[in-house]
Amino acid sequence: MLKSMLRTALVATMLASPLSAWAADLVIATKSGPASMDPHFTATAANAEATKHVFDTLLRSGNDLEILPSLATRWEAIDDTTWEFKLRQGVKFHDGSEFTAEDVKFSIERIPNVTGPNPSTIYVRRVAGVEIIDPYTIRVKTHGPAPTLPNDFVRLFIVSHKAAADYSTQETAAEGFNTGKATIGTGPYKFVSWAPTQDLVLEKFEEYWDGPQPWDKVIRKEIPNDAARVAQLKAGQVDIISKVPTTDLASIESDPNLAVVKYESIYIPYLEFDFREDTPQVWDNAGKKMEKNPFLDPRVREAFDLVIDRETLVEYALEGMGVVSTQLVTPNIFGYNKDIPVPEYNVEKAKQLMAEAGYPEGFKVSLAYANDRMPTELGPTIAQMLSAINVTVDVQGVPAAVFNPAKTRGEYSLYMASWGTLTGEANYMLSSLMHTNDPEKSMGAFNVRGYSNAKMDELIQAASVEMDEAKRRALLEEANMLVATDRPDLPLAINLSAWGLKADKITYTPRSDEDTLAMDVKPKQ
């Protein structure tokens, strides 16, 4: 109600003001852009961030990941394997056609046919079928109890079944959505133009169901280079930038025309080990490929954990823009285990473990990561720390467009990535990263490195069907404790995010998922 009242007041003010005072464009500069304008192509945050402007999701994630109504106004579990969703009436697509249950059913069933790297199937993995009850009611049957289905559906983008009908295969999807032919959503902005790595141009949708936005046009620029992004802000060429480098915070804050907004995110950079017997990028000190994968030995993984000084990582590599993490979810996520201690820093113990495992002289390994997604100094700093246990690290930072497909193909032995639990529940991370890769169960979609732990699988599967909230929380907490002790991944820190903006033109409300959305940017009053 308050939101509605505020919106009404804003509209009234706009109507009472000269048109020229409000008719304005917004220019956003982001570090990374979408891989496709098809919202079902990939589950990456960069893709979702861009496509949220054009397409609504069935449910909406609030700024702190709370579940809010969107295209669905109400939802409830009818029984253990059936969820019913009541849909918003009177919603129009950008082409003037009406949104109905048919579009929801089509969108759910479309995802497995078009998804690519980092597959979006993780959001519909529990769906067994969709039944249309009436034009504004659907029932989703699930494979067993699915308590987290509403959490998953905050990432279920709804496309037009009419506009996308001819563009819903692997071969046709890109052509339809990247050209605009099928890029017809119900969102606050209409698609104008986009090409890979180029500007995404949007225009206001006047008939948006949640009220029109104040910006006539939005231009989202993809500028991976940090210095270039900051320079454009200082030159007045953009209105807001995401991921301000820590080295530039002071200069932006001291500029009377600019401002910095900081917020603790849900993103956690982590190291991930390969668990395959034949791992591709580990060598002995003479440069010969090792016959045995050292990361299969839990003592080696523990040694790596012990030799990483996370406080130093936060202070120097992240330049204070982080908080030491104990696990791969943040405290606001359902299933966070408060009993997991801060990781120990103990070089001598790490050396002892390496010797016991048979590697007193260490070995050589490549550390791969997306250098346009990760802080610049994080990889080299970790490499320096690992040298204390005689591990020589070849730091390989490459663009995300190179890193993600190579990771999916299994080309790395050790890599660094970043995870954000976008659904607000730990099972999203656990079932994606920690469960054995099992396409039949739709589990372990992001686990491409062969990690498999029967106890872990048991806990994750039990949590995924447990409708009792307290019992589900306990299972998730136990699974997170197992991650901390088995160490398939090593969480490093919780990122703090920073945005730079024109202080005299706009205000900005940040989100914990780091999405930089035009909808959260308002004209300065």
Quickly state the pLDDT bin for 294 (edges 50, 70, 90): very high
pLDDT exceeds 70 at position 113: yes
Q: How far apart are CA 426 and CA 473, in angstroms?
A: 9
Query: Reduced to 3 states, what is the DSSP secondary structure of residue 51?
Result: helix
pLDDT score at 25: 95
For the segment 238-242, the average pLDDT, to the nearest whole number, is: 97
* 182-221 core/surface letters (b: 16 or more CB in 10 A; e: else): bbbbbbbbbbeebeeeebbbbbbbeebbbebbbbebbbbb
Q: Quick check: 53 and 67 in contact, CB under 8 A?
A: no
Query: Reduced to 3 states, what is the DSSP secondary structure of residue 67?
Result: strand
Q: Which domains does the chain have, with CATH numbers?
A: 34-186 (3.90.76.10), 267-495 (3.10.105.10)
The amino acid at residue 141 is K
DSSP H helix total and E strand total for the chain: 16, 22
What percentage of residues in the chain have a pLDDT greater than 90? 84
pLDDT exceeds 90 at position 16: no
For the segment 324-333, the average pLDDT, to the nearest whole number, is: 95
Q: How far apart are CA 436 and CA 239, in angstroms?
A: 44
Q: How far apart are CA 359 and CA 285, in angstroms?
A: 11
Quickly state the pLDDT bin for 62 (edges 50, 70, 90): confident
For the segment 260-283, the average pLDDT, to the nearest whole number, is: 96
pLDDT score at 117: 82
The angle, 0 to 180 degrees and rounded to 10, between the axes of the packed helices 378-386 and 298-307 is 120
For the segment 469-479, the average pLDDT, to the nearest whole number, is: 97
Q: Quick check: 68 and 127 in contact, CB under 8 A?
A: no
Q: Quick check: 365 and 394 in contact, CB under 8 A?
A: yes
Segments in 134-286 forming alpha helices (H) = 149-152, 173-179, 226-234, 249-253
pLDDT score at 7: 41
Half-sphere exposure of 87 (CA within 13 A, CB side): 25
For the segment 484-498, the average pLDDT, to the nearest whole number, is: 96
25: β partners: 217
pLDDT score at 19: 35
R_g (Cα) of the chain, nearest Å? 23
Segments in 374-433 forming alpha helices (H) = 378-386, 400-408, 426-429
Largest CA distance in the chain: 76
Given CA atoms 369, 371, 374, 380 in this order, what sign does their dihedral have? positive
State pTM to two decimals: 0.77
The token duo for 303 is 């040694």
Q: Quick check: 424 and 67 in contact, CB under 8 A?
A: yes
DSSP assignment of 429-448 equals HIIIIIS--BTTTTB-TT--
The token duo for 14 is 């706009």
Q: Quick check: 432 and 148 in contact, CB under 8 A?
A: no
pLDDT score at 458: 98
pLDDT exceeds 70 at position 1: no
Q: What beta strand segments (E) does 243-302 contain?
A: 258-264, 267-273, 282-283
Quickly state the pLDDT bin for 20 (edges 50, 70, 90): very low
